[in-house]
Amino acid sequence: AQRVTQPEKLLSVFKGAPVELKCNYSYSGSPELFWYVQYSRQRLQLLLRHISRESIKGFTADLNKGETSFHLKKPFAQEEDSAMYYCALKAGGTSYGKLTFGQGTILTVHP
């Protein structure tokens, strides 16, 4: 069975500071990892996926299979980055398409 762990429920930083949201996973196969974001009063939306290897809104995430991690990073946080962030894993096989989410991290960026 797959599992996603986000060790920090809350993370506070000041504007302009670097930010890293941690995500660890357990899965016996080859995973597909995602970061989803939910801004205040908005719906859950995809931020980025590891296979695209792109930077979205200044955020990047690298899949480290050795450490089974997929941490989300941004060098200079902005106030508009304040939101709830979820790490998610998509499994293969008969569960294809199903997303397993972590518990989420609330990021607050102070001015």
Instruction: Return residues touching other proteins (CB under 8 A).
Output: 4, 6, 9, 43-46, 49, 86, 88, 94-104
We find the least distance from the C-beta atom of residue 39 to other proteins, in angstroms, to be 12
List CB contacts of 30: < 8 A, sequence separation 6 or more: 92
Beta carbon nearer to other proteins, 48 or 109: 48
Beta carbon nearer to other proteins, 97 or 111: 97
We find the least distance from the C-beta atom of residue 102 to other proteins, in angstroms, to be 5
Task: Give, in order, the Cα–Cα distances in Å from 38 to each of 8, 16, 31.
Answer: 16, 21, 23
We find the least distance from the C-beta atom of residue 111 to other proteins, in angstroms, to be 27
CA distance 40 to 19: 19
CA distance 99 to 2: 10
